[in-house]
Amino acid sequence: MSLQYQFPSDFWWGSAASAAQTEGSHNGTTGRTIWDEWFEKEENRFFEGVGPKETSDFYNRYKEDIKNMKEIGHNTFRMSISWARLIPGGEGEVNEEAVTFYNAVIDELLAQGIEPFVNLFHFDMPIEMQEKGGWENREVIDAYVTYAQKAFELFADRVSKWFTFNEPIVPVEGGYLYDFHYPNIVDAKKAFQVAYHTIIAHAKVVELYHQNYDGKIGIILNLTPSYPRSENPADLKAAHICDLFFNRSFLDPVVKGEFPEDLIALLKEYDHLPETAEEDSVLLKENTVDILGVNYYQPRRVKAKDHAPNTEGPFMPDWFFDNYEMPGRKMNVYRGWEIYEKGIYDIMINLKDNYGNIESFISENGMGVQDEQRFIKEGRIEDDYRIDFIKEHLKWLHRAIEEGANVKGYHLWTFMDNWSWMNAYKNRYGFFSVNLDTQERTAKKSAYWFADVSKQNGFDH
């Protein structure tokens, strides 16, 4: 008897994590990233003063963690390699200790029947590269391509799904617009240059991979549908411009090989076009992605501006729209984010209708909750709220698949509670809780539920 929500037979069930958020930057031999630097400079900006030194100690506990993944039905796991660990300083000699570690992780995943998906960059720029200007500087692109080449040489014999970047717009927003990532610059012209160079770096790595390897390479984008307050033309225009800045600025060049015309026109009008090189447009056109990872947490709701922007202040995307708080919206009060499960369906139908139905998967979706110890019963966190969150998103994902969307899998953020940048361990996301004093892992109720879902390849209601 088939289940009400039955997924394709080869569906990818798993979770995602990143090097900086799990390995611990003081474990093993590794170079320094912008996070080590920023934490030293401004510890007060990190929740309860917790930095990236230990995080979840995956570096020492990967065997236990991968065994747990197997037990709850993972057949895939998305990890990242730390550029600063593999090549301390960002360029130069490869760190053999890091090679040994990543080989061991990949081999252990494969031994447990879990396919590794490997991402090359997850917000963790080596500090030496940032001091050269980071993605503002085209030289850093070359260093990144060399790093990618080394990673492919070392691991591509066992890894056939690669990703160039996770959420590349976040360092743009955080580091160059809204001051929530290092280097804490507020300068839209630099922001657009950083975004542009990130896309060029991505395309160069895609080109390198396709020339030498047979697997699939893609990118992971946090796609956040922009919903207008109303059908009023002014609200529709606000939502369209918001979508251009925060979704299509990356989605169009990586999937279609070109930037949206109206985004180019807008940046030109306000004298904020990035500097480009003549060969870039051909590079983009010829090196589109094979696969797209989609991170979805919340919708973005916008309306026309209530007040004219202060054009004497720094240029911002927010000159063109205001955020809109829809009355009666469902909230994750801990994170301050709206929960809107249908958004996951809208994204996938948009990819189907407007982006060639590219092969895609949900590479992150999840619910961060504070003080989960409140929900402990008989030694286990009873996180029914997380089960409901996943289930309702999966129902909409199932519907998109039924309607022909080319969706291959679902990965939760994250496998075990991990360190979340400035929020540190404030909100917990994992299937497994982590005791920060002992590093002991304990399965939450959601882990057992997910094990059943992946085993049956679906659920009933």
The residue written with tokens 């080596």 in the block is: 126
Query: What is 75-87 written as a DSSP string?
Result: SEEEEE--HHHHS
Judged against a pLDDT cut of 70, whether residue 105 lies above it is answered with yes
364: annotated active-site residue: yes
What is the tens place of the pLDDT at every residue in 229-268? 999 999 999 999 999 999 999 999 999 999 999 999 999 9
Is residue 135 over pLDDT 90? Answer: yes
The number of beta carbons lying within 10 Å of the beta carbon of residue 211 is 8
Amino acid at 384: D
Which residues, in sequence order, are bridge partners of residue 301?
227
In angstroms, rounded to a whole number, what is the distance separating the alpha carbons of residues 304 and 25?
44
Instruction: Give CA–CA dist 221/199, Å, rounded.
Output: 12
Query: What average pLDDT score do residues 35-45 get?
Result: 96
Mean of pLDDT values over 16-27: 96
Average pLDDT over every residue of 436-442:
94
pLDDT in tens, 394-414: 999 999 999 999 999 999 999
Res 327: pLDDT: 96
Span 172-192, mean pLDDT? 97
Confidence band, pLDDT 50/70/90 cuts, at residue 435: very high
Residue 334 has pLDDT above 90, yes or no: no
| Domain layout of the chain by residue ranges | 5-459
One CATH from 3.10.180.10, 3.20.20.80, 3.20.20.10, 1.10.3720.10 for 5-459: 3.20.20.80
Question: Mean pLDDT lowest for which of 72-76, 421-425, 427-431?
Answer: 421-425
Taken in order 130, 134, 137, 143, is the CA torsion positive or negative? positive
Give 351-364 pLDDT, tens digit per residue. 999 999 999 999 99
427-453 average pLDDT score:
96
Query: Rounded to whole angstroms, how far apart are CA atoms 70 and 114?
Result: 7
pLDDT tens digits, one per residue of 81-91: 999 999 999 99
Task: Give residue 1's pLDDT.
Answer: 59
- Residue 173: its H or E element: helix 169-176
Q: What is the mean pLDDT of the chain?
A: 97
Residue 281 has pLDDT above 80, yes or no: yes
Helix axes 342-354, 384-402, angle to 10 degrees: 30
pLDDT at 140 over 90: yes
Q: Is the pLDDT of residue 335 over 90?
A: no
pLDDT of residue 55: 92
**Pick the catalytic residue: 23, 341, 364, 372?**
364
pLDDT, tens digit, for every residue of 200-228? Answer: 999 999 999 999 999 999 999 999 999 99
Q: Which residue, 120, 89, 50, 163, is CA-closest to 418?
A: 50
Task: Tell me the C-alpha distance between 389 and 218, whole Å.
Answer: 27
Which is it for the CA torsion 384, 344, 360, 171, positive or negative? negative
Mean pLDDT of 85-102: 98
For the packed helices 96-111 and 138-155, what is the interaxial angle rounded to 10 degrees? Answer: 50
Cβ neighbour number for residue 171 with a 10 Å cutoff: 25
Q: What percent of the chain has pLDDT over 90?
A: 97
On whether the CB atoms of residues 424 and 48 are closer than 8 A, the answer is yes
So what's the pLDDT on residue 211? 98
Residue 37 has pLDDT above 80, yes or no: yes
Residue 333's pLDDT band (cuts 50, 70, 90): confident
Assess whether the previous peptide bond of 414 is cis (omega < 30° from 0).
Answer: yes
